[in-house]
């Protein structure tokens, strides 16, 4: 009996040890599978310092990459036909996009760094997002890279020299590394901004006859080089890269054609368009064509002061909508003049309607998105410019003892065509007795016209002084 019990216990013990061995095997297998899974995932997220800012990097097969959206705060990244283009800091890099991540990290790829083709890691994708290798970026952008650290040497303008020529003069700006150069032609003054570069403020005189002096100033966005552009002269800017750094060459003179004449003419003489609404028989309660009277008076004052003014109508006849839209598209300031009308209302006073919506033309909206780019501000103004003009006009009217209301409007037909400041000035309400009396008084309407002319002139002068049209 005892033997039988012992053998039974031994069997139970063997079974228990077999069970625990089995579960251990299962756990080990599970662990191996987990490790294999981790090993299979060939990317990990890393913490990266990108030019002094904290960003997220991705380590793919041991090579550190950065997402195109993260990099876009430093350079412009675009892709087309399987090629990633990195444009900025004075360099252009072309990296083929290899969907095979492992192959992309090797040096078997040919990438183009400015004018050189080299073997280096190239761009790839992770979950559809474009990734760019930091080693190749550092090589192409003259940056320093150690894992987790991508930095640029501080750019500095180290020298300015000149060369006098027969048909053009040359200015050479020497920098320790390449930077983005922005050009702005404001009237007859050319301004180059060396983005992110430091410089000491100084005036330079040259021996050239076309380019007698150059002013270098240290500004917030980088070194600013300002020079006068002689009448009939054009200019050309290009960058030369060498081992010691880079040089920005600027040629100015009559031997170089000026390729932005229309824009210059626009900047020198902005167009003000006044659009008096044509009301049926002057509207009830207002016997005169008040909108036309105010527009004519304001136009006369502005013309006398040397501004270029056009009216959308100069007679009692209503102009064609297409003609009004055409003038609005050409305008630097567009002001519609109208009277409020609505049956049974109890409203009075002057109201300024500012256009705040999307422009009819998609190209105008696109330019508004790119306000930081050079010359864009001279072609299309930000939407806030209408608010600026509106505030100036309110101030002028207030100084004449007339309080004006402000109302943003997003769906206005003719104002939506104007690429720059656009307003609708409602002079009063035809059914309001107080407004009828005010609009019947010629002195009051002349006051409003004067306020309008002063506001427009102040706005355009301030814009010109700030370097925009």
User: What distance in Å separates the CA atoms of residue 336 and residue 189, rounded to the nearest whole number?
Assistant: 33
- Shortest distance, CB of residue 279 to another protein, whole angstroms? 8
Q: Is 121 exposed, middle or buried (0-12, 13-18, 19+ CB in 10 A)?
A: buried
User: What distance in Å separates the CA atoms of residue 36 and residue 305, rounded to the nearest whole number?
Assistant: 81
Residues 134/125, Cβ–Cβ less than 8 Å = no
> Between residue 342 and residue 401, which ones bind another protein under the rule CB under 8 A?
342-347, 351, 353, 357, 360
Phi and psi at 34, nearest 5°, equal -60, -45
321 near another protein (CB under 8 A): yes
287 near another protein (CB under 8 A): no
User: What is the SS3 assignment for 236?
Assistant: strand
323 near another protein (CB under 8 A): no
284 near another protein (CB under 8 A): yes
User: What is the SS3 assignment for 255?
Assistant: coil
Indicate which single residue of 15, 410, 437, 461 sits in contact with another protein (rule: CB under 8 A).
Answer: 410
For another protein, which is the closer residue by CB, 395 or 408?
408
For another protein, which is the closer residue by CB, 109 or 430?
430
For another protein, which is the closer residue by CB, 65 or 429?
429
Q: How many alpha carbons fall within 13 Å on the CB side of residue 87?
A: 7
Q: What is the largest CA-CA distance in the chain?
A: 131
Tell whether the torsion through CA atoms of 326, 328, 332 and 336 is positive or negative: positive
CA geometry: angle at 146 spanning 141 and 148, to 5°? 105
341 near another protein (CB under 8 A): yes
Residue 255 CA from chain centroid, whole number: 32
User: What is the SS3 assignment for 328?
Assistant: helix
Phi and psi at 56, nearest 5°, equal -100, 130
For another protein, which is the closer residue by CB, 216 or 286?
286
Indicate which single residue of 412, 421, 439, 452 sits in contact with another protein (rule: CB under 8 A).
Answer: 412
| CA distance to 84, 189, 352, 432, 433, per residue, from 344 (Å) | 63, 56, 21, 10, 13
Tell me which DSSP letter residue 444 carries.
H
- Shortest distance, CB of residue 358 to another protein, whole angstroms? 9
- Shortest distance, CB of residue 457 to another protein, whole angstroms? 25
Binding mask 227-266 for another protein (x = CB under 8 A): ----------------------------------------
Indicate which single residue of 40, 220, 280, 401 sits in contact with another protein (rule: CB under 8 A).
Answer: 280
Indicate which single residue of 150, 367, 429, 459 sits in contact with another protein (rule: CB under 8 A).
Answer: 429
For another protein, which is the closer residue by CB, 424 or 453?
424
- Shortest distance, CB of residue 424 to another protein, whole angstroms? 6
Indicate which single residue of 58, 279, 290, 295 sits in contact with another protein (rule: CB under 8 A).
Answer: 279
Indicate which single residue of 34, 146, 407, 437 sits in contact with another protein (rule: CB under 8 A).
Answer: 407
334 near another protein (CB under 8 A): no
């Amino acid at each position: 009996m005892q033997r039988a019990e012992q053998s039974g216990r031994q069997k139970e013990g063997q079974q228990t040890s077999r069970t625990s061995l089995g579960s251990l095997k299962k756990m080990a297998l599970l662990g191996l599978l987990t490790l294999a899974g981790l090993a299979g995932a060939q990317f990990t997220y890393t913490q990266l310092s990108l030019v002094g800012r904290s960003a997220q990097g991705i380590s793919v097969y041991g090579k550190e990459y950065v997402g195109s959206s993260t990099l876009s705060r430093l350079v412009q990244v675009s892709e087309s036909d399987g090629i990633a283009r990195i444009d900025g800091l004075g360099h252009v890099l072309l990296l083929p996009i290899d969907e095979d991540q492992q192959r992309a990290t090797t040096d078997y790829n040919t990438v183009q760094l400015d004018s050189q083709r080299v073997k280096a890691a190239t761009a790839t994708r992770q979950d559809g997002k474009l990734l760019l290798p930091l080693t190749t970026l550092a090589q192409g952008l003259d940056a320093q890279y150690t894992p987790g650290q991508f930095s640029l040497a501080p750019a500095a303008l180290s020298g300015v020299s000149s060369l006098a020529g027969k048909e053009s003069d040359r200015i050479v700006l020497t920098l320790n590394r390449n930077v983005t150069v922005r050009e702005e032609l404001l009237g007859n003054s050319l301004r180059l901004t060396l983005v992110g570069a430091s410089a000491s403020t100084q005036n330079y005189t040259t021996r050239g006859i076309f380019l007698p002096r150059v002013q270098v100033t240290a500004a917030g966005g980088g070194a600013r080089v300002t020079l006068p552009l002689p009448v009939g002269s054009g200019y050309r800017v290009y960058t030369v890269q060498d081992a010691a750094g880079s040089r920005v060459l600027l040629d100015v003179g009559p031997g170089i054609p000026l390729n932005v004449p229309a824009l210059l003419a626009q900047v020198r003489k902005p167009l003000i368009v006044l659009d008096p609404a044509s009301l049926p028989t002057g509207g009830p309660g207002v016997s005169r064509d008040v909108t036309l009277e105010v527009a004519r008076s304001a136009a006369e004052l502005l013309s006398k002061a040397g501004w270029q003014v056009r009216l959308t109508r100069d007679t009692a006849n209503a102009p064609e909508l297409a003609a009004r839209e055409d003038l609005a598209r050409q305008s630097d300031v567009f002001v519609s003049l109208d009277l409020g009308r609505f049956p049974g209302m109890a409203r009075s006073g002057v109201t300024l309607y500012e256009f705040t919506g999307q422009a009819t033309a998609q190209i105008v909206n696109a330019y508004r998105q790119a306000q930081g780019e050079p010359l864009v501000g001279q072609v299309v103004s930000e939407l806030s410019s209408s608010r600026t003009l509106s505030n100036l006009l309110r101030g002028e009217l207030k100084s004449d003892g007339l309080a004006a209301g402000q109302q943003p409007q997003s769906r206005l037909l003719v104002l939506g065509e104007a690429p720059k400041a656009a307003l609708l000035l409602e002079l009063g309400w035809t059914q309001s007795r107080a407004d009828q009396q005010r609009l019947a008084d010629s002195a009051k309407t002349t006051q409003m016209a004067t306020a309008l002319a002063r506001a427009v002139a102040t706005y355009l002068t301030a814009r010109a002084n700030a370097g925009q049209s």
